[in-house]
Structure 1
């Protein structure tokens, strides 16, 4: 009987061992597959889809210029306007050639042969200049959008630093609370400060994305393109030209000035032709004389306006430069105050009120410095715009 039970027990042990081995083999296989799937998932960025997150497109300012000049619709329209002006000038020359110089006997013939051709030639020059200015204005516009992204990126970094400080403060306050050297109200305020900093960071990140979208539109790219500027937003002081130097340049290059001068040229030509065929006291001659005087006044008025623009622009750059200096000094002071308040609180001779106040002041000083550097960069851009702007 005992031998029979012994055989049964032996058989049961063998079966158990076989079953256990099969289960182990199955588990090992399953575990291996799971580990392989985990490894594959890690290699593909954790999503299991096999697609890693696309990296940001790094873009220099020069590359941004090239993209904008290639894709900007307004610039393409300016080029077409120039082509149209060339055709108009060619037609005016053709019509003038149809009239022999010796057969110009009427004022109308003289205007067709001499005034119209001059008028169209000047219009062609204006269209050509308008195209060149449109190129420069496109670059200035893109530079502004590029600075917007740089500013937004800096603000994200400022808000990230604020969140980090808030987290460190909360950890410190909680530690002091557990040790009995801080009150629950301080913990609550530290938590609120952290939540506020996180909200500011979220807003800064949204602003950064919006700035990217605006730059993408200006460059003719897909609005969802993740652009990362290669440059950084930093203070770079510029040597300002004198009022006389910048005014001289603006008077030579501004399109509104050229248009006013061209109008005076045509008015003078019209008047000279009229008095060549009619007496100066005729109605037409007197009317043309008035148009000429008005054109001269327009030129004078435009010169005065340009000088005022130049003075205002130089003042804005100087003012923006002064603000950078002031905010930089305030930022240094805010950093020192925060460091001191933090140390005093750590050793128990300062209050959390002091730390919180210094924290707010530091975040404000950091944001204002970024804003000041950004405004100075834009103000420097106006030095270019004031020499190009058209009516």
Structure 2
């Protein structure tokens, strides 16, 4: 009897424990499925949880380890050269201790190792910056899709009203079946467009979750209101110079050129200018110089085109509000005419679609501007 009681007690205990565990798991799951972020909070959260950024820490550590190991080998080589100079190593065994390759190793290995560390550290900075820009872009994309969905829903509500009016006019003998059918088709098309917008929203949200290191199905509430803010232009040339300093691709090409220049200086000590090794090294130097010049030109073109696009978007955005006001008035007039038998439904539908398009253009223009603005501002930080 006692054994049966003990078994029963243990069973109850296990059931309660499992239940409590499930409750905790559900609570944790609910917590992770509903997250609120301002734009800056989202950036900080992504940086804190980024696997790519953590990987750059390992790359920096590996670069430092390689430096210690390689410098130890150079010390061993110099010790061997010292022994050879003192006559402790036979002449027949000294060939591997001298020459161009050995000199290159001694002279350039420290620089190569230091450059590897610098590149790893610069790579971390670049990864952090790219993460911030990536979060900003996707944050804006989610907010944009939310705004477009709101506009689409407003259009759907107006389309429902138009359908009611068309049916009412038909019932009262002053409308047509054609008008009702047109209104129904218009409403159906708007609902299909809404479904596609929801797909776009979910795509942006899931990609943002991925960048934040969250489960892709996490529901997000993005609390920052995105408003048009004009870019503080400090001049194209200064922005280009800042981009030269900031961009990882420029840094890599510049370091490659500097390293090749050092190789060329050492090469001159060992080879006559008419020899193949000398000429080949000159070719490498010229190639590195061309790559550096081309990269500078590419960045200059990119920055200046971005500034032109930004100015163009700014001019467009200024026109959107006036355009929307005009189209809203056109829609109002078309609806009044139709309701009073002085116009046709097609005029109402055309004005409605024009209004929706104008609002879409304004939202898309603002978010395109803010994304481009963020990219240019990243060079100035």
TM-score range, shorter chain: 0.7 to 0.9
CA–CA separation in structure 1 for the residues paired with 2:301 and 2:210: 33
Match of 1:176 among 146, 149, 169: 169
Q: 1:103: how far off?
A: 4.5
- CA 1:142–1:341: 2 relative to 1, 3 Å: same
Matches within 5 A, 1:151-230: 151-230=144-223
SS in 1 for 2:234: coil
Q: Report how far residue 86 of structure 1 moved.
A: 1.7
Summarize deviations over 1:348-374 as a string: whole Å, max 9, x none.
433323222211211222222222222
The equivalent of 1:124 in structure 2 is: 117
Shift of 1:244: 0.5
Q: 1:92 — aligned with what?
A: 70
SS of 1:227 mapped into structure 2: strand
Q: Could you say which structure has the larger radius of gyration?
A: 1
Supply the distance in 2 between the matched residues of 1:91 and 1:313 (Cα, whole angstroms): 45
- Write out aligned runs for 1:334-373 (5 A): 334-373=327-366
Q: Decide which of 33, 45, 50 is 1:67's aligned counterpart.
A: 45
- Quickly say closer, same or farther: Cα 1:206–1:183, change in 2 above 3 A: same
Say which structure, 1 or 2, has more relative contact order (CA 8 Å, 6+ apart): 2
- 1:119-168 CA-to-partner distances (Å, cap 9, x unmatched) read 11112111110110110001111111111111110111011101111122
Give the C-alpha shift of residue 101 in structure 1.
8.9
Aligned mates of 1:236, 1:184 — CA distance in 2: 49
Query: Given that residues 42 and 135 in structure 2 are in contact (C-alpha distance below 8 angstroms), is that contact kept between their aligned partners in structure 1?
Result: yes
Taking the aligned partners of 1:285 and 1:234, their CA distance within structure 2 comes to 59
Please give the alpha-carbon distance, in whole angstroms, between the structure 2 residues aligned to 1:356 and 1:247.
48
CA separation in 2, counterparts of 1:128 and 1:202?
45
Scaled by the length of structure 2, what TM-score is found?
A: 0.80
Deviations 1:90-124 (A, max 9, x none): 22322233344995864333322221111111121
Aligned length: 337
Q: TM-score, normalised by structure 1?
A: 0.78
Contact 1:97 1:113 in 2 (8 A): no
Distance change in 2, residues 1:385/1:161 (3 Å): same
Which secondary structure state, in structure 1, belongs to the residue aligned with residue 361 of structure 2?
helix
CA distance in 2, matches of 1:286, 1:350: 83
Determine the C-alpha separation between the residues in 2 that align with 1:212 and 1:263: 39
Unaligned residue ranges in structure 1 (runs of 5+): 1-51
Matched, 1:304 2:297: yes
SS at match of 1:308: helix
Q: Distance in 1 between matches of 2:170 and 2:31?
A: 42
Distance in 2, matches of 1:67 and 1:351, equals 54
> In structure 2, what is the equivalent of residue 382 of structure 1?
375
Alpha-carbon RMSD across the aligned residues, in angstroms, is: 2.7
Identify the residue that residue 15 of structure 1 maps to in structure 2. none
Larger mean Cα displacement after TM superposition, 360-369 or 187-196: 187-196
Post-superposition offset of 1:317:
1.7
5+ residue gaps, structure 2: 1-29, 83-97
Q: Does the CA contact (< 8 Å) of 1:82 and 1:128 recur in 2?
A: yes
Measure the CA separation in 2 of the matches of 1:106 and 1:55.
65
Q: Is the 8 A contact 2:32 2:218 kept in 1?
A: no
User: How many Å apart are 1:280 and its aligned residue?
Assistant: 4.3
Residue deviations 1:10-56 (CA, integer Å, cap 9, x gap)? xxxxxxxxxxxxxxxxxxxxxxxxxxxxxxxxxxxxxxxxxx99984
Whether contact under 8 Å (2:53, 2:127) holds in the other structure is: yes
The yes-or-no answer on 1:146 pairing with 2:139 is: yes
151-160 or 62-71: bigger deviation: 62-71
SS of match in other structure, 1:98 = helix
| Separation in structure 2 between the aligned mates of residue 132 and residue 342 of structure 1, nearest angstrom | 57
